[in-house]
Structure 1
Amino acid sequence: MIHDLVSGLGPWSWWILGLALLAAELAAPGVFLIWIGVAAIVVGALSLALWETGFWSWQIQLLLFALLSIGFALAGRRFYAGRGQASDEPLLNRRGESLVGRTATLREPITEGRGRIHLDDTWWSVMGPDLPAGTRVKVVAASGRDLTVETA
């Protein structure tokens, strides 16, 4: 059935597929289907010119579509990821790293290398040398939710 539909529509089947993928990108944006849709439209444009030639079989079309989809997706990823604009708040979503250099008082002693501090509105697990509660410590590194401290 699909073969009959594609044969009946000819090169326009690629255009319909491409436009359907672009419409799907509008419905569920993620900047991924756009590249596959563009690949389908390019294959459709080539199909308009090469449909009657002997070598333009469905296997060649499908292979070209797959290669163009991968190529356009990789190029689009590089284009959007390579913007590398410097941020005025580079630690905005890296809260632990933004605490490096701050000092706090140990609320729970560091025993066996683990303790806790209260900094701003959050309790943080800390790692460092064994120290009693009430000691002033300085955050020297962050790894996920764990902070590494030393005496201030």
Structure 2
Amino acid sequence: MEPGLIWILGGLLLLAAELALPGIFLLWVGLAAIGTGFFVLAAVPGLGATALVFLLLLGGGIALALRLKRPRRSAQVNTPAAGLVGRHGMLLPMDGPELRVRLGDSDWPARLPQDVRVPEAPMRVRVEGVDGTVLVVRPV
């Protein structure tokens, strides 16, 4: 049997095993084996060149996988901070022990940074952060 076809068959078997086994490593080994098989079919290299091509393809695939896996810095979705930080609202008069801020049509519990004293309500404030469901606000 042709050596290139053996490489391709081995790579296909590794890709099939990837479907049955957890993890993602066999994917890159299988793709590197298929690529090596096509190289062996196109140019009849020696054993050293074949091994070098396989290792280069495997290393390139793993490097690509690590680059694609790297976490990207993006806005957090579905968190209170995602849409509230930077918005302006009104500090409501205190009805109980906690401060409340009206943002749009919602009232939120709020607190001020430690360096700010409690201002007279109503006052315009800016949301600087979110601590759980409590907004950290500063007078504008």
TM-score, structure 1 as length reference: 0.48
Letter in 2 for 1:151: P
2:38 to 23, 36, 45: 45
Measured in 2, the distance between the counterparts of 1:60 and 1:29 equals 31
Change beyond 3 A, Cα 1:27–1:132: farther
Q: Is the 8 A contact 1:128 1:148 kept in 2?
A: no
Measured in 2, the distance between the counterparts of 1:146 and 1:32 equals 44
Deviations 1:35-59 (CA, angstroms, capped at 9, x unpaired) = 44222101012223445x5xx11x4
1:85 corresponding residue in structure 2:
none
Structure 1, unaligned runs of 5 or more = 1-7, 82-89, 110-116
Change beyond 3 A, Cα 1:121–1:92: farther
Identity of aligned residues (%): 31
2:116 corresponding residue in structure 1:
130
1:20-31 mapped onto 2 (5 Å cutoff): 20-27=13-20
Deviations 1:30-82 (CA, angstroms, capped at 9, x unpaired) = 7775444222101012223445x5xx11x43232222112324555777899x
SS in 1 for 2:137: strand
Change beyond 3 A, Cα 1:61–1:91: same
SS in 1 for 2:126: strand
TM-score, structure 2 as length reference: 0.50
> Is residue 98 from structure 1 mapped to residue 83 from structure 2 by the alignment?
yes
Change beyond 3 A, Cα 1:133–1:151: closer
Change beyond 3 A, Cα 1:142–1:63: farther
- Aligned pair count reads 127
Measured in 1, the distance between the counterparts of 2:128 and 2:78 equals 18
Structure 2, unaligned runs of 5 or more = none
